[in-house]
Each structure stands twice: as structure tokens, then as C-alpha cells.
Amino acid sequence: MIVAERKPMDEIVAMLAPHRKVLVLGCGGCVTVCLTGGEKQAELLAGQLRLAARQAGRTLEAAFDCITRQCEREFFDNLTEDPRTYDAVLSIACGAGVQYMSELYPEVPILPGMNTTFLASNVAGGVWEEYCRGCGDCVLAWTGGICPITQCSKSLINGTCGGTNNGKCEVNPEMECGWLRIYERLKALGQLDNYRTLRAARDHRKDRGGGVRRLVLKDMAESQESGNE
């Protein structure tokens, strides 16, 4: 899942300063699961914004709404509020939701209420940790199921870097050295050949070096196209 954290309140208040009537829009997807951007949070934030405005001696009408997902067209039909009747929408979805909604409502400023951070797993109550960076060329098969892109601070494809200190990462001593973990996992699996094999440099065009990436399911795209004809 994608993890997104709410922006600091003062940043949100400054963003909304030119507007008098705003809609806080929650999303029922990942941000609801990580308890940062769902319906409850939208309601709470709308109340906090009204209060902050009152305390600052300004008038602000702040309503809230929530849809199942802000990254899919069909769910916008379920909006209770019409975004076009507001000066601005504060979306508390991830960055994909904010941008997609901007395309659907080009006449309304759609503002980001969140900082979108990483692909995570829920490792303990209230704790989400980064596990994947969407690099587009997964190498977990030969790294013992541990991602070197996220679990190594330098995202090395051939580790370790030599700076490992008592099992900790030299860049971030709070974390285990990802490459040491990979080594130990491969050793336990009897797969140290994978560790010794020198890997070629990664093709960053599959990552963020090649512009916007797309997933196209050919059959589905073709049947949709013929249905539209």
C-alpha cells in the first residue's frame, strides 16, 4: 500500500489562505488503511480548519466528503458535494489522487493535504515501514526476498558498501545494513552464489529515469476500445 502523511497544519492553513469555501475530500483507499486520509480524517480536518480560521479572525466554510478511491474515474460519481461549488478542494488522497482529480475538475484548484511517502507494510500497530520503491525491475528472486533498493540506504545493486558497522548501516545507524541482511538470508537459504554474482548496473528507464510509466493490460484496453466504437 501507499503511505501518505498529512501535511503540517500551518502549511495547509497557508495553502488555503486565499480561499473562503473549501471541501476537504478523503479517499477510502490506502490512506484510509493507514489512518491518515479517510472519511474520519476529512471530517476532523474540516473541523480543525474552521477552528483555526475562527481563531485567526477569518471566515472559512469547510465541508468534507469522501469517495472510495480518488485514483479512479467511476468513484467521482458518488461525490455528495460538487467540487465546482467550492473555491478549492483540499484532497487528502495520495499524490495520484490529487493529480487525477485536477484533471477531472480543471476549473477548481485541487490542493494536496498530504505528503505521499512510500510503499509500505504494516509492521506493528500504528507503524508502516517502507518495503518497495516501485523500481520497475524487481530483484527479490536473487536477494533472498529483501529489497536492496529500499533496505540499503545507497540502493546498491552489489553490496555491501564496506561501511557496515556492527551490523548497522553507515548512513543510518538506526537501521540494520540491508546488504548484511541479504547476505545472511542467502546464506541461510544456501544461495550464496547469488551474493557472489556481480550484477549489471540497473536500467533506470524502468525506474523514474524514463518519464511517466504505464501499465497497459492489452486485452482489457482493446475490448474497452471496441466497446466505445
Q: Which residues bind ligand SF4 (CB under 6 A)?
A: 132-135, 138-140, 147, 149-150, 152-154, 156, 159-161, 163-164, 169-171, 177-179
* Choice between 32 and 150, CB closer to ligand SF4: 150
CB of 169 to ligand SF4, least distance (A): 3
Least Cβ distance, residue 181 to ligand SF4 (angstroms): 8
Q: What's the CA gap between 121 and 7, in Å, rounded?
A: 21
Least distance to ligand SF4, CB of residue 126, Å: 23
Distance (Å, whole) CA 51 – CA 62: 10
3-class SS letters over 18-73: CCCEEEEEEECCHHHHCCCCCHHHHHHHHHHHHHHHHHCCCCCEEEEEEECCCCCH
Taking the complex as a whole, how short is the minimal distance between the CB of residue 149 and ligand SF4, in angstroms?
A: 4
How many helices (H) and strands (E) are present in the chain, helices listed first? 8, 7
Closest to ligand SF4 by CB, 40 vs 204, is: 204
In angstroms, give the least distance from the CB of 138 to ligand SF4. Answer: 3
Count of C-beta atoms within a 10 Å radius of residue 11: 13
Distance from C-alpha of 164 to C-alpha of 180, rounded to nearest angstrom = 8
The residue among 41 and 160 lying less far from ligand SF4, judged by its C-beta, is 160
* Shorter beta-carbon distance to ligand SF4: residue 97 or 159: 159
CA distance from start to end of the chain = 35
Nearer to ligand SF4, 59 or 197 (CB): 197
- DSSP character string of 68-110: S-TTSGGGGGG-SS-GGGSSEEEE-S-HHHHHHHHHH-TTS-E
What is the closest distance, in whole angstroms, from the C-beta atom of residue 156 to ligand SF4 in the complex? 5
Compare residues 91 and 160 and give the one whose CB is closer to ligand SF4: 160
